Amino acid sequence: MLTPTDLQRQTLRLYGELICRRPNYAGQLVLTTGAGSSATGLPAAVSIAGGTTLAIDPDTAAVKSTFRQGGLDFVVNTLDEALRVLKNEIRQHRPLGVALLSPVAPAIAEILERGVLPDLHITLPPDPTLLFPFRNAADEPASPATAHLDLAVEPSPELTAWLASQHLAEAVLDSTPTTSLRTLDARLLPLIPPTDTARRTWIERISHYQRPTPGGSRVLWLTPTEKASLPPF
């Protein structure tokens, strides 16, 4: 099981993989499937990016653990329940993470039968044999395809290039017994330019989806100048 810091690091990376491809996921549905897929940090990353997630996960322990720490908003047992919860939030462009406790194959078959088209499908582990139709920009069914983010490797070339273009690198800042993570976040926000919505959104929302732990760390992206100018926390 990932430590809180490692989970946060993975969530930040997945958030980066999302926003370097599309700056705003409001009204978008991300489908993730596989045992433990709900516990990868992806639902939190999608919610922070403004989108909705349907995680089809047969691992009850992973789902319940993620729900307890805030990474999921709902846990359901049927696709009907999942779609009922997701439909309004997608229409209202509000973030939401829903886990469907179910074996993957029958749930995918039911989704296809009902004509539900996600905007992105991420499998765990990556499965190039599982094809899925997506919506294109005109909201029409696209050719069957599947998109993968491999959690076991380094950041993708797209994310690496995006970070380099912004002169950003990962930093891990530890809170102290007298400084909570929320206090640390409040002190970090003034360092981030008001126009940098991607990083400001991360700092503002991550504690909601991964509840702070005593003596925890904040993982974020900083420029060399920002890192050098950090005040003592």
Q: Report d(CA 127, CA 124) in Å as an integer.
A: 7
pTM listed for this prediction: 0.89
* pLDDT tens series, the chain, 233 aa: 788 999 999 999 999 999 998 888 999 999 999 899 999 999 999 999 999 999 999 999 999 999 999 999 999 999 999 999 999 999 999 999 999 999 998 998 899 899 888 888 887 666 555 544 444 444 444 333 345 555 556 788 899 999 999 999 999 998 877 678 888 999 999 999 999 999 999 999 999 999 987 778 999 999 999 999 887 76
State the chain's maximal CA–CA distance in angstroms. 56
